[in-house]
Structure 1
């Protein structure tokens, strides 16, 4: 089983990023994290996109000020 959800949860906490903002920015899907928490299965290609987003993430000035 993938450990994507714990990695996403840790990322959200570390970056103080809202789940809906994460989903929108990473995949264009505001419901992604909620659905992942509810057991959504993720294709390997989708997981790769999410992990690439987390690796390359740089907060905007507005997010840094929050």
Structure 2
């Protein structure tokens, strides 16, 4: 399911849901709507998956790291 992938992405990159929505879908409510049961069109889902893959590949992120010491 798309929502599981998105939630994992948000946790991994410590990104707010609204920021993800704006960047990936040009809709700040996108993730909130997914959480409420929205089922995106196939094209939209493909665009979101491509955004996540491109984000990871481009290294535009700061991974969440545990504070040690």
What range describes the TM-score normalised by the shorter chain of this pair?
0.7 to 0.9
The unaligned stretches of length 5 or more in structure 1 are none
Over aligned residue pairs, what C-alpha RMSD do you find? 1.3
2:48 aligned counterpart, secondary structure: helix
Query: 1:24: which partner in 2?
Result: 22
Q: Larger C-alpha radius of gyration, 1 or 2?
A: 2
| Structure with a larger share of its residues in helix | 1
1:56 alignment partner, one of 51, 54, 57: 54
Aligned residues: 59
Moved over 2 A (4+): none
Mapped partners of 1:8, 1:50: distance in 2: 9
Residue 35 of structure 2: aligned partner: 37
Distance 1:38 1:7 in 2: 16
- Scaled by the length of structure 1, what TM-score is found? 0.84
